[in-house]
Amino acid sequence: MNPSSWIPPSTPAFSPTPDPLTPARDVTHAHFEIGDQIIVLKGVAAGELWGDTMRVVAPSWHTPTDEDGWRLRDPTGGAQTYITGHPRYLAHLSRRCPDCSIYLRAMENHLLPKYAGQDALIDCGWYTTTALGQLLHIADAQRGQ
């Protein structure tokens, strides 16, 4: 029996949804800096965008795409506290950034109508983590990068 104050962790509902925006996003490595707080968008929760919030900690080669990436730290820990991500997967949270604001607004316009009225945590299934601890968007995996 679970104590009444215990709440099981929410498991996102998996809902594969095409992501036409992130793979086409043109963001250079220089767009982000060490210390930036970012979000990797993964889906929708209660009518808002949902994702993993992390901090940029170091430059890193992103093997799946053969491009400069960033080493990211998840402050909540978890199975992997550090991962490497391509800059186009990231959006600024810690500073006002016109490019990231446009990207986030476009993602809202694309996703929120699809899940209007649903309160569940929806994972759109865009990312996987490779054996090397690198975040990989499914579009990059399908292109063989």
Encode pLDDT of 17-49 as tens digits: 899 999 999 999 999 999 999 999 999 998 999
How many angstroms separate the CA atoms of 88 and 75, rounded?
21
In the numeric block, which tokens belong to residue 40?
A: 């990797």
In the numeric block, which tokens belong to residue 121?
A: 């945590």
How many angstroms separate the CA atoms of 106 and 52, rounded?
18
Tracing tokens 């890193």 back to the chain, one arrives at 60
- Give pTM, 2 decimals: 0.86
Which residues touch 117 (CB under 8 Å, ≥6 apart)?
A: none
Angle at 62 between CA 56 and CA 54, to 5 degrees: 25
Report the length, in residues, of the chain. 145
pLDDT in tens for each of the 145 residues of the chain?
Answer: 344 444 444 667 888 889 999 999 999 999 999 999 999 999 999 899 999 999 999 999 999 999 999 999 998 887 789 999 999 999 999 999 999 999 999 999 999 999 998 888 999 999 999 999 999 999 998 775 5
How many angstroms separate the CA atoms of 145 and 137, rounded?
10
Q: Are strands 13-14 and 121-123 parallel, antiparallel or unpaired?
A: parallel
